[in-house]
Structure 1
Amino acid sequence: MAFSMDSSRVTRFFDDLRIPDLIVRHRGATLAALGLAVVAPFAIRDYQTFLSYGPGGLPHNVVGWLIANVMRLVAREQTSTLPYSDKSLYLSSRPGFLPPDFPPHRSSPRPQFGAHPVPQRQVTQLPDPETREKLIARFQALGEAAQAKGLVDIKQSLYERRHAALFVSSTRAWHPVAQRSRGEIAHVHAGLDGSIHVTLHPGDCKKVIEAAWGQRHGLAGVGSRKIPGSLPVNYVLVYAPRDEAELDIVLAVVRASVAFMAGLEGPLE
């Protein structure tokens, strides 16, 4: 009996509210509430995915997540080599710095990436911690050797803001691609994935992408070449190496990046 009485009171309460009338009078608020109820679970999962990449160039919080989602609206496809057919690209009429028939075609399918263009992070086919540490050590040794030759400076990445990067030495002339990238040549993502961002000769970009060793950054080539710091189309991510043989290949790509960006006539010795 008590239950029947409580139920009737609840029924009268909602009748008194005149829910249909309220919905009609506050249609905008109602739609917004319904939209939020539908979108909220997806937004929470998307935010958790963003955090799972680890710290990068954007703030590792809600602000960074919102910026990353705005960037999704302008991000481009990443595996076509058509952009490198543009004859106006710097040094496009000259051979690149990678050897002929190099790199060999990668044996695995391309790894999967997070949905956000920034930070660009590989989420499958990750290296073990030992391989990642070897990569970081060899990348650092390569950079120090190039620095000793007056080719590069080593400092914090302008794009990642958390990793050391190689830059064209301030003592050298900077060609147009170096100017657009603010001198940044390459950096390793020293977190979980161990992938590498490099800036390459157009012909070498094509080789790396065609051999399934990497893909362009989603924002590479977006915006005007006159905008300082915008990413050149030459800005490519090289997939994380998983063993010694793959380490040798990706470091050869880094050497080609240094040679191109430092304005060398031939390969980095």
Structure 2
Amino acid sequence: MSLVSSLGLQPRLEGLVDAVARGYDAHPVLALALLPLVLVPLLLAARAYRGYLALGPGGLPNNVFGWALQASLRPFARETKSTAVYEADGTVWAFPSHGRVSFLWRADLPARSPPVPPEVPDYIAPQRQVTQVGKAPIIAAMDEFLASLADANEGLLAIKGSKLEDHASSALWILDTDAETEAANDRPLADYLQPLVKGELVHVHSEGSSHITLSLADAAKAIGAGWAQRHPLSGVKAFGLPVSYVMLYAPRDKDELEVWKNFVRASVEFTTADWAPKYQPLNLAWSR
């Protein structure tokens, strides 16, 4: 049974077609004049919907309902490439003192080349790049690195299904509870990780881009050097994404993969800075 039939829409659609036909018969010139006003928005909407489907699964359903929902969020969206927000008083006060610290101190951050960033369609979600996409071996190496970090920091980090994307996507998480008893421990999540992120630090998308939470200083560096842009809803309090939640562009080669790894290391150091040194020394897999 088709969706139209199952929802009982068949009689309504037939009635609509009949009404349009009667209107054309009564006022053919007016109907032809109004036709572009009807067709152009429909064609634009159809094109936007096809583009949405082409992005693949994400945090919203990959169907017309998901497309309509992300479109309804557009009034809340913010620009994604300015770094001025990271120096605003309101932003700084919302983060702990080490939010203004760079955790990329062990490695230089080169500018991404070429300077032209990949194309990222302006859908609210999912946020993906459609040019300069990553190759399968590089994407596999990204997932392997996240797994190596979790293995090297057992009890502190773990690989679990993403809750911000489709659950099939694996993500690196902070463990803020005892893994065996599920009891709360002395490693509370920072406030900026609470509302929506809930300890999910980084996840990798199918085309090689990734979402990650960085310090304010490192988010500004990542965007300024051309490696990233914010999520459209980052910093919007109603949705709970930190303002330093950014999309890192897909690494295109082994050198860019190393830059990406350094961002992940910086994220782990930043988000555990309050308590990780007291709990256990971090192993950031520098040999990987």
Question: TM class, shorter-chain normalised?
Answer: 0.7 to 0.9
Structure 1 residues 73 and 261, CA gap change in structure 2 (3 angstroms): same
Note if 1:257 corresponds to 2:259.
no
Note if 1:195 corresponds to 2:209.
yes
The runs of 5 or more residues in structure 1 that have no matched partner are 1-13
Moved more, 49-58 or 215-224: 215-224
Among residues 88, 99, 110, which one is paired with 1:104 in the alignment?
Answer: 110
Which residue of 2 is the match for residue 6 of structure 1? none
SS at match of 2:104: coil
Which residue of 2 is the match for residue 8 of structure 1? none
Q: Please give the alpha-carbon distance, in whole angstroms, between the structure 1 residues aligned to 2:240 and 2:216.
A: 17
Which residue of 2 is the match for residue 164 of structure 1? 170
Structure 1 residues 1-12: aligned runs within 5 Å: none
Which residue of 1 is the match for residue 146 of structure 2? 139
The one-letter amino acid paired with 2:124 is P
The one-letter amino acid paired with 2:117 is R
SS at match of 2:126: coil
Conserved 8 A contact 2:189-2:198: no
| Shift of residue 220, structure 1, vs aligned partner | 0.2
Note if 1:214 corresponds to 2:231.
no
SS at match of 1:73: helix
Structure 1 residues 120 and 184, CA gap change in structure 2 (3 angstroms): same
| C-alpha RMSD of the superposition | 2.6
Scaled by the length of structure 1, the TM-score of the pair is 0.80
Q: Please give the alpha-carbon distance, in whole angstroms, between the structure 2 residues aligned to 1:128 and 1:17.
A: 56
Which residue of 1 is the match for residue 4 of structure 2? none
Q: What is the percent sequence identity of the aligned residues?
A: 38
Structure 1 residues 11-26: aligned runs within 5 Å: 17-19=25-27
Cα deviation 1:139-192 (Å, max 9, x = unaligned): 22223323x1x2223211111023111222123221111213212111111x1x
Q: Please give the alpha-carbon distance, in whole angstroms, between the structure 2 residues aligned to 1:135 and 1:100.
A: 20
Structure 1 residues 3-152: aligned runs within 5 Å: 17-19=25-27, 35-86=37-88, 87-92=92-97, 94-99=100-105, 102-108=108-114, 109-146=116-153, 148=154, 150-152=155-157
SS at match of 1:259: helix
The runs of 5 or more residues in structure 2 that have no matched partner are 1-21, 178-186
Structure 1 residues 72 and 102, CA gap change in structure 2 (3 angstroms): farther
Q: Please give the alpha-carbon distance, in whole angstroms, between the structure 2 residues aligned to 1:63 and 1:45.
A: 16
